[in-house]
Amino acid sequence: MGELLVWPTLIAYGEAAFAYAGVFRGGDAARLGIWGVRIGWLAQTALLLAQALDSDGFPWGTWAGALNLFVWLVVGTYLIWGCSARYRLLGLAVMPLAAALLAAAWAGGGTSVSKEETAGWLLAIHVALMLAALAGLTLAAALAALYLWQERRLKQRDVGVLRLRLPPLESLDRLSARTAAVSLVVLTAGIVVGLASFDRGDFDLPMAVTLAIWVLYATGLVLRREMGLHGRRFAFLLLAGFVLVAIVLPLTHFAS
């Protein structure tokens, strides 16, 4: 059942990535892209439901399973803005990444359906909170990348960028900051639940990187509020944070 659902998801995400790449040539590329995102996300939702129904516990405790759930959260969060014409170009950053990560999850067995015993509810809450936070931070980084790209095009007086119906730079800056702030709250909750659900005497690398992520984003948001860290500098901070997110994802193993 899992194989029947993962392939439509991969094909739809791949189609969306190629469609967004053709946005600059005009036509209906953006519209085709958003439909690929919608169809792929629905197919992946069905895949996750099949995994949940056929498992005796939480089926996404392995790194590959967590990656599968992470992709679904990233794409679902993108859909909140992606249906708006002004934010569809975010798909150019999000969808190639989503397709590549889902392929990695499939290669690692994270999209298969298994009836074996899996993690309990407390660990499930921890995983869900952590992945939701990392997905939000990924979208914040995508917004920051769009900000930097648009700012550079405007400085180069590229009139073509005006035809793409992009949001104002101020809106991108505000939205990326709000997304990072909400994600930081969710990350804090995930860390607290994790401390209660794991009995570990040692301080491992994933935990260290997670705390580094928390410190970086918390510091950036405080500097933004107190010292006016906005625009290009804040966008670079969000991208630096995404580097840490990319590091912690493959290092984290949630299985008990």
pLDDT at 98 over 70: yes
Give me the mean pLDDT over the 18-22 stretch.
79
pLDDT at 59 over 90: no
Residue 6 has a CB neighbour count (10 Å cut-off) of: 21
Give the pLDDT of residue 164: 67
* CA separation, residue 187 to residues 76, 165, 168, 213 (Å): 18, 33, 28, 9
Are 128 and 247 contained in the same domain?
yes
Give the pLDDT of residue 120: 64
Give the pLDDT of residue 46: 94
Are 45 and 128 contained in the same domain?
no
Last residue of a domain, one of 56, 83, 117: 117
Give the pLDDT of residue 8: 92
Are 100 and 226 contained in the same domain?
no
Are 93 and 126 contained in the same domain?
no
Are 18 and 51 contained in the same domain?
yes
Range of the domain at 51: 1-117
pLDDT at 27 over 60: no
Are 143 and 218 contained in the same domain?
yes
Are 106 and 143 contained in the same domain?
no
Last residue of a domain, one of 101, 117, 133: 117
Specify the amino acid at residue 20: Y
φ and ψ at residue 157, rounded to 5 degrees? 55, 45
Are 64 and 176 contained in the same domain?
no
Are 213 and 170 contained in the same domain?
yes
**By mean pLDDT, which of 22-31, 33-42, 135-144, 240-249 is the weakest?**
22-31
Structural domain total, the chain:
2
Are 245 and 136 contained in the same domain?
yes
Q: What pLDDT, in 10s, does the model give residues 102-160?
A: 998 888 888 886 655 455 677 778 888 888 999 999 999 999 998 998 888 877 776 66
* CA separation, residue 41 to residues 35, 88, 99, 195 (Å): 10, 15, 11, 32
User: What's the sign of the alpha-carbon dihedral 118, 123, 128, 130?
Assistant: negative
Q: What pLDDT, in 10s, does the model give residues 235-255?
A: 999 999 999 888 887 766 554
Q: What pLDDT, in 10s, does the model give residues 165-193?
A: 777 889 889 999 999 999 999 999 988 88
pTM over 0.85: no
Are 11 and 75 contained in the same domain?
yes
**By mean pLDDT, which of 12-16, 70-74, 191-195 is the weakest?**
191-195
Rounded CA gap, 245 and 212, in Å? 10
Are 155 and 44 contained in the same domain?
no
